Structure 1
Protein backbone atom coordinates (compact mmCIF):
# COMPACT_ATOMS: atom_id res chain seq x y z
CA UNK A 1 0.00 0.00 0.00
CA UNK A 2 1.34 3.46 -0.90
CA UNK A 3 0.97 6.55 1.27
CA UNK A 4 1.88 10.04 0.19
CA UNK A 5 2.98 12.42 2.91
CA UNK A 6 3.31 16.19 2.81
CA UNK A 7 6.28 18.13 4.27
CA UNK A 8 8.92 15.39 4.24
CA UNK A 9 12.16 17.15 3.32
CA UNK A 10 15.08 15.32 4.96
CA UNK A 11 16.33 12.04 6.40
CA UNK A 12 15.11 12.99 9.89
CA UNK A 13 11.63 13.38 8.39
CA UNK A 14 11.86 9.88 6.98
CA UNK A 15 12.85 8.51 10.38
CA UNK A 16 10.08 10.40 12.18
CA UNK A 17 7.44 9.18 9.72
CA UNK A 18 8.71 5.60 9.91
CA UNK A 19 8.47 5.77 13.72
CA UNK A 20 4.84 6.92 13.50
CA UNK A 21 3.96 3.99 11.24
CA UNK A 22 5.71 1.57 13.58
CA UNK A 23 3.82 3.00 16.59
CA UNK A 24 0.56 1.78 15.06
CA UNK A 25 2.09 -1.62 14.28
CA UNK A 26 2.78 -1.12 10.58
CA UNK A 27 6.32 -1.73 9.36
CA UNK A 28 7.08 0.12 6.11
CA UNK A 29 8.90 -1.65 3.29
CA UNK A 30 10.27 1.67 2.01
CA UNK A 31 10.26 5.23 3.28
CA UNK A 32 11.26 7.93 0.80
CA UNK A 33 10.76 11.68 0.77
CA UNK A 34 7.02 12.18 0.51
CA UNK A 35 6.18 8.50 0.17
CA UNK A 36 5.81 5.37 2.30
CA UNK A 37 5.17 1.85 1.06
CA UNK A 38 3.78 -0.90 3.27
CA UNK A 39 3.04 -4.56 2.58
CA UNK A 40 0.04 -4.68 4.87
CA UNK A 41 -3.31 -2.95 4.68
CA UNK A 42 -4.20 -0.43 7.36
CA UNK A 43 -7.54 -0.38 9.12
CA UNK A 44 -9.60 2.80 9.17
CA UNK A 45 -8.91 3.19 12.91
CA UNK A 46 -5.14 2.88 12.38
CA UNK A 47 -5.35 5.31 9.47
CA UNK A 48 -7.10 7.84 11.69
CA UNK A 49 -4.45 7.39 14.41
CA UNK A 50 -1.71 7.75 11.83
CA UNK A 51 -3.21 10.96 10.41
CA UNK A 52 -3.40 12.50 13.89
CA UNK A 53 0.10 11.47 14.93
CA UNK A 54 1.60 12.71 11.64
CA UNK A 55 -0.20 16.06 11.96
CA UNK A 56 1.13 16.38 15.50
CA UNK A 57 4.72 16.28 14.20
CA UNK A 58 4.12 18.48 11.14
CA UNK A 59 3.26 16.00 8.39
CA UNK A 60 0.05 15.27 6.54
CA UNK A 61 -1.33 12.34 4.58
CA UNK A 62 -2.25 13.32 1.03
CA UNK A 63 -5.16 11.54 -0.57
CA UNK A 64 -6.05 13.44 -3.74
CA UNK A 65 -4.13 13.10 -7.01
CA UNK A 66 -3.40 16.81 -7.52
CA UNK A 67 -2.00 17.27 -4.01
CA UNK A 68 0.19 14.19 -4.45
CA UNK A 69 1.53 15.58 -7.72
CA UNK A 70 2.29 18.97 -6.14
CA UNK A 71 4.12 17.22 -3.30
CA UNK A 72 6.06 15.10 -5.81
CA UNK A 73 7.16 18.27 -7.63
CA UNK A 74 8.35 19.79 -4.34
CA UNK A 75 10.07 16.55 -3.33
CA UNK A 76 11.94 16.33 -6.64
CA UNK A 77 13.10 19.94 -6.36
CA UNK A 78 14.20 19.43 -2.75
CA UNK A 79 16.00 16.23 -3.70
CA UNK A 80 17.68 17.98 -6.62
CA UNK A 81 18.79 21.03 -4.62
CA UNK A 82 19.48 19.65 -1.16
CA UNK A 83 20.38 15.99 -1.69
CA UNK A 84 22.44 15.99 -4.88
CA UNK A 85 26.16 16.58 -5.06
CA UNK A 86 25.75 18.86 -8.04
CA UNK A 87 22.68 20.18 -9.82
CA UNK A 88 22.54 18.88 -13.35
CA UNK A 89 22.79 21.40 -16.14
CA UNK A 90 19.65 19.87 -17.60
CA UNK A 91 16.59 22.05 -17.80
CA UNK A 92 14.33 21.82 -14.70
CA UNK A 93 11.28 21.34 -16.90
CA UNK A 94 12.90 18.31 -18.54
CA UNK A 95 13.89 16.79 -15.20
CA UNK A 96 10.39 17.15 -13.76
CA UNK A 97 8.63 15.97 -16.92
CA UNK A 98 10.84 12.90 -17.18
CA UNK A 99 10.60 12.02 -13.50
CA UNK A 100 6.86 12.60 -13.04
CA UNK A 101 5.76 11.58 -16.56
CA UNK A 102 3.58 14.63 -17.21
CA UNK A 103 3.93 17.49 -19.65
CA UNK A 104 5.72 20.38 -17.99
CA UNK A 105 2.94 22.85 -18.93
CA UNK A 106 0.44 20.77 -16.97
CA UNK A 107 2.79 20.53 -13.96
CA UNK A 108 3.53 24.25 -14.09
CA UNK A 109 -0.12 25.31 -14.36
CA UNK A 110 -1.20 22.96 -11.58
CA UNK A 111 1.61 24.08 -9.27
CA UNK A 112 0.88 27.77 -9.86
CA UNK A 113 -2.86 27.27 -9.35
CA UNK A 114 -2.47 25.39 -6.07
CA UNK A 115 0.62 27.01 -4.56
CA UNK A 116 0.20 30.59 -5.77
CA UNK A 117 3.76 30.69 -7.08
CA UNK A 118 5.62 29.20 -10.02
CA UNK A 119 7.77 26.09 -10.03
CA UNK A 120 10.71 28.28 -11.03
CA UNK A 121 10.25 30.60 -8.04
CA UNK A 122 9.98 27.61 -5.72
CA UNK A 123 13.18 26.18 -7.25
CA UNK A 124 14.97 29.51 -6.84
CA UNK A 125 13.89 29.80 -3.20
CA UNK A 126 15.21 26.29 -2.51
CA UNK A 127 18.52 27.12 -4.20
CA UNK A 128 18.86 30.33 -2.17
CA UNK A 129 18.21 28.38 1.06
CA UNK A 130 20.95 25.95 0.04
CA UNK A 131 23.28 28.87 -0.71
CA UNK A 132 22.60 30.25 2.79
CA UNK A 133 23.38 26.87 4.32
CA UNK A 134 26.64 26.53 2.38
CA UNK A 135 27.67 30.10 3.22
CA UNK A 136 27.20 29.43 6.92
CA UNK A 137 29.23 26.19 6.72
CA UNK A 138 32.06 28.28 5.22
CA UNK A 139 33.64 25.29 3.49
CA UNK A 140 33.19 26.37 -0.13
CA UNK A 141 33.99 29.57 -1.96
CA UNK A 142 31.15 31.46 -3.62
CA UNK A 143 32.29 30.24 -7.06
CA UNK A 144 32.28 26.62 -5.82
CA UNK A 145 28.77 27.12 -4.43
CA UNK A 146 27.65 28.63 -7.75
CA UNK A 147 29.10 25.65 -9.62
CA UNK A 148 27.58 23.08 -7.25
CA UNK A 149 24.12 24.63 -7.51
CA UNK A 150 24.16 24.99 -11.29
CA UNK A 151 24.50 28.78 -11.55
CA UNK A 152 26.06 30.04 -14.77
CA UNK A 153 28.31 32.43 -12.85
CA UNK A 154 29.11 33.77 -9.40
CA UNK A 155 27.76 37.15 -10.45
CA UNK A 156 24.40 35.60 -11.35
CA UNK A 157 24.24 33.78 -8.01
CA UNK A 158 25.09 37.01 -6.16
CA UNK A 159 22.50 38.98 -8.09
CA UNK A 160 19.76 36.40 -7.46
CA UNK A 161 20.74 36.09 -3.79
CA UNK A 162 20.50 39.85 -3.29
CA UNK A 163 17.18 40.02 -5.14
CA UNK A 164 15.66 37.34 -2.88
CA UNK A 165 17.25 38.16 0.49
CA UNK A 166 18.10 41.84 0.13
CA UNK A 167 21.68 41.02 1.17
CA UNK A 168 24.85 40.21 -0.70
CA UNK A 169 26.26 36.72 -0.08
CA UNK A 170 29.37 38.26 1.50
CA UNK A 171 27.30 40.34 3.92
CA UNK A 172 25.08 37.35 4.75
CA UNK A 173 28.18 35.27 5.46
CA UNK A 174 29.49 37.97 7.81
CA UNK A 175 26.22 37.92 9.77
CA UNK A 176 26.79 34.37 10.97
CA UNK A 177 29.43 35.58 13.41
CA UNK A 178 26.94 37.93 15.05
CA UNK A 179 24.04 35.47 15.16
CA UNK A 180 25.42 33.16 17.83
CA UNK A 181 27.35 33.85 20.99
CA UNK A 182 29.22 31.50 23.23
CA UNK A 183 27.29 30.46 26.30
CA UNK A 184 29.86 32.06 28.59
CA UNK A 185 29.29 35.41 26.87
CA UNK A 186 25.59 35.50 27.82
Structure 2
Protein backbone atom coordinates (compact mmCIF):
# COMPACT_ATOMS: atom_id res chain seq x y z
CA UNK A 1 0.00 0.00 0.00
CA UNK A 2 2.81 2.41 0.90
CA UNK A 3 4.70 1.51 -2.29
CA UNK A 4 1.60 2.19 -4.40
CA UNK A 5 1.05 5.57 -2.71
CA UNK A 6 4.70 6.49 -3.28
CA UNK A 7 4.38 5.42 -6.94
CA UNK A 8 1.38 7.71 -7.45
CA UNK A 9 2.98 10.68 -5.70
CA UNK A 10 6.30 10.12 -7.48
CA UNK A 11 4.67 9.79 -10.91
CA UNK A 12 2.64 13.00 -10.42
CA UNK A 13 5.77 14.83 -9.28
CA UNK A 14 7.75 13.54 -12.29
CA UNK A 15 4.98 14.50 -14.71
CA UNK A 16 5.16 18.07 -13.41
CA UNK A 17 8.98 18.17 -13.48
CA UNK A 18 9.22 16.56 -16.93
CA UNK A 19 6.23 18.31 -18.55
CA UNK A 20 8.40 20.46 -20.84
CA UNK A 21 10.79 17.63 -21.85
CA UNK A 22 7.73 15.43 -22.55
CA UNK A 23 6.30 18.08 -24.87
CA UNK A 24 9.65 18.74 -26.58
CA UNK A 25 10.29 15.05 -27.25
CA UNK A 26 6.74 14.60 -28.56
CA UNK A 27 7.18 17.56 -30.90
CA UNK A 28 10.60 16.33 -32.10
CA UNK A 29 9.17 12.89 -32.89
CA UNK A 30 6.26 14.39 -34.81
CA UNK A 31 8.56 16.67 -36.83
CA UNK A 32 11.19 14.05 -37.68
CA UNK A 33 9.26 10.89 -38.54
CA UNK A 34 5.96 9.59 -39.82
CA UNK A 35 3.63 7.82 -37.45
CA UNK A 36 2.33 8.25 -33.92
CA UNK A 37 4.30 9.89 -31.13
CA UNK A 38 3.78 7.00 -28.77
CA UNK A 39 4.37 3.32 -29.31
CA UNK A 40 2.12 1.07 -27.25
CA UNK A 41 3.59 -2.38 -26.78
CA UNK A 42 1.84 -5.35 -25.27
CA UNK A 43 3.64 -6.34 -22.09
CA UNK A 44 3.05 -8.92 -19.43
CA UNK A 45 2.39 -7.53 -15.99
CA UNK A 46 1.51 -8.65 -12.49
CA UNK A 47 0.26 -12.28 -12.35
CA UNK A 48 0.95 -12.67 -16.08
CA UNK A 49 -1.82 -10.27 -17.07
CA UNK A 50 -1.14 -8.43 -20.35
CA UNK A 51 -1.30 -4.64 -20.58
CA UNK A 52 -0.26 -1.96 -23.06
CA UNK A 53 2.71 0.19 -22.09
CA UNK A 54 3.53 3.50 -23.81
CA UNK A 55 6.97 4.65 -24.85
CA UNK A 56 8.00 7.52 -27.04
CA UNK A 57 8.42 6.02 -30.49
CA UNK A 58 12.12 5.68 -31.27
CA UNK A 59 11.75 3.16 -34.09
CA UNK A 60 10.13 3.41 -37.51
CA UNK A 61 6.53 2.22 -37.75
CA UNK A 62 7.55 -0.76 -39.94
CA UNK A 63 9.81 -2.25 -37.23
CA UNK A 64 8.99 -5.89 -36.36
CA UNK A 65 7.25 -6.36 -32.98
CA UNK A 66 10.11 -8.14 -31.21
CA UNK A 67 12.59 -7.19 -28.52
CA UNK A 68 15.12 -4.77 -30.02
CA UNK A 69 17.93 -7.16 -29.09
CA UNK A 70 16.42 -9.72 -31.49
CA UNK A 71 16.62 -7.41 -34.50
CA UNK A 72 19.53 -8.17 -36.84
CA UNK A 73 20.46 -4.49 -37.15
CA UNK A 74 18.33 -2.39 -34.77
CA UNK A 75 20.06 0.84 -35.81
CA UNK A 76 18.50 0.68 -39.28
CA UNK A 77 15.04 0.95 -37.71
CA UNK A 78 15.76 4.01 -35.53
CA UNK A 79 14.02 7.29 -36.25
CA UNK A 80 16.23 10.40 -36.67
CA UNK A 81 16.02 11.12 -32.93
CA UNK A 82 15.51 7.51 -31.84
CA UNK A 83 19.08 6.87 -30.79
CA UNK A 84 19.18 10.02 -28.67
CA UNK A 85 15.92 9.41 -26.83
CA UNK A 86 16.89 5.78 -26.16
CA UNK A 87 20.39 6.60 -24.89
CA UNK A 88 18.99 9.29 -22.60
CA UNK A 89 16.04 7.06 -21.59
CA UNK A 90 13.63 9.85 -22.57
CA UNK A 91 11.62 7.22 -24.47
CA UNK A 92 10.63 5.79 -21.07
CA UNK A 93 8.93 8.95 -19.73
CA UNK A 94 5.41 8.06 -20.97
CA UNK A 95 5.56 5.05 -18.66
CA UNK A 96 4.73 7.47 -15.85
CA UNK A 97 1.17 6.94 -17.13
CA UNK A 98 1.55 3.19 -16.57
CA UNK A 99 2.72 3.89 -13.01
CA UNK A 100 -0.31 6.11 -12.31
CA UNK A 101 -2.60 3.48 -13.80
CA UNK A 102 -1.05 0.77 -11.63
CA UNK A 103 0.28 -1.43 -14.44
CA UNK A 104 3.87 -0.90 -13.28
CA UNK A 105 5.73 0.50 -10.31
CA UNK A 106 8.83 2.68 -10.24
CA UNK A 107 10.89 -0.36 -9.23
CA UNK A 108 10.35 -4.00 -10.14
CA UNK A 109 11.33 -6.40 -12.90
CA UNK A 110 10.99 -4.76 -16.33
CA UNK A 111 7.77 -5.84 -18.03
CA UNK A 112 8.53 -8.41 -20.74
CA UNK A 113 7.02 -8.34 -24.19
CA UNK A 114 4.17 -10.79 -24.70
CA UNK A 115 6.34 -12.89 -27.06
CA UNK A 116 9.40 -13.30 -24.80
CA UNK A 117 8.22 -16.78 -23.84
CA UNK A 118 11.44 -18.12 -22.29
CA UNK A 119 11.84 -15.09 -20.03
CA UNK A 120 8.18 -15.19 -19.01
CA UNK A 121 8.31 -18.91 -18.21
CA UNK A 122 11.45 -18.53 -16.10
CA UNK A 123 9.79 -15.68 -14.21
CA UNK A 124 6.68 -17.78 -13.61
CA UNK A 125 8.75 -20.68 -12.27
CA UNK A 126 10.61 -18.37 -9.85
CA UNK A 127 7.50 -16.48 -8.70
CA UNK A 128 8.72 -13.21 -10.21
CA UNK A 129 5.39 -12.80 -12.01
CA UNK A 130 3.84 -12.27 -8.57
CA UNK A 131 5.34 -8.77 -8.21
CA UNK A 132 4.40 -5.66 -10.14
CA UNK A 133 6.86 -4.89 -12.97
CA UNK A 134 8.81 -1.65 -12.83
CA UNK A 135 10.11 1.29 -14.78
CA UNK A 136 13.51 0.26 -13.52
CA UNK A 137 14.79 -2.73 -11.65
CA UNK A 138 17.71 -4.57 -10.11
CA UNK A 139 18.58 -6.19 -13.47
CA UNK A 140 18.56 -2.79 -15.21
CA UNK A 141 21.16 -1.31 -12.86
CA UNK A 142 23.28 -4.46 -13.13
CA UNK A 143 23.62 -4.65 -16.88
CA UNK A 144 20.39 -3.73 -18.66
CA UNK A 145 20.78 -4.61 -22.36
CA UNK A 146 24.02 -6.53 -21.83
CA UNK A 147 22.43 -9.26 -19.66
CA UNK A 148 21.25 -12.64 -20.90
CA UNK A 149 17.74 -13.79 -20.02
CA UNK A 150 19.12 -16.12 -17.33
CA UNK A 151 21.15 -13.29 -15.78
CA UNK A 152 18.11 -10.98 -15.76
CA UNK A 153 16.05 -13.65 -14.01
CA UNK A 154 18.76 -14.13 -11.35
CA UNK A 155 18.73 -10.40 -10.58
CA UNK A 156 14.91 -10.35 -10.60
CA UNK A 157 14.82 -13.29 -8.21
CA UNK A 158 17.25 -11.46 -5.92
CA UNK A 159 14.98 -8.40 -6.06
CA UNK A 160 12.00 -10.59 -5.16
CA UNK A 161 13.84 -11.76 -2.04
CA UNK A 162 15.28 -8.36 -1.04
CA UNK A 163 12.49 -5.95 -1.92
CA UNK A 164 12.01 -3.10 0.51
CA UNK A 165 11.56 0.66 0.41
CA UNK A 166 15.26 1.25 1.07
CA UNK A 167 16.29 -1.22 -1.67
CA UNK A 168 13.87 0.48 -4.11
CA UNK A 169 15.36 3.89 -3.29
CA UNK A 170 18.86 2.47 -3.81
CA UNK A 171 17.82 1.09 -7.23
CA UNK A 172 16.28 4.45 -8.21
CA UNK A 173 19.53 6.18 -7.21
CA UNK A 174 21.61 3.73 -9.27
CA UNK A 175 19.20 4.17 -12.20
CA UNK A 176 19.70 7.93 -12.17
CA UNK A 177 23.48 7.44 -12.22
CA UNK A 178 23.24 4.94 -15.11
CA UNK A 179 20.97 7.25 -17.12
CA UNK A 180 23.25 10.25 -16.64
CA UNK A 181 26.29 8.17 -17.61
CA UNK A 182 24.34 6.41 -20.41
CA UNK A 183 25.68 3.05 -19.25
CA UNK A 184 24.62 -0.43 -20.43
CA UNK A 185 22.56 0.80 -23.39
CA UNK A 186 23.43 -1.13 -26.53
CA UNK A 187 21.15 0.63 -29.05
TM score, norm. by length of structure 1: 0.28
TM score, norm. by length of structure 2: 0.28
Which has the greater radius of gyration?
1
**Which structure's relative contact order is higher, taking Cα pairs within 8 Å and 6+ residues apart?**
2
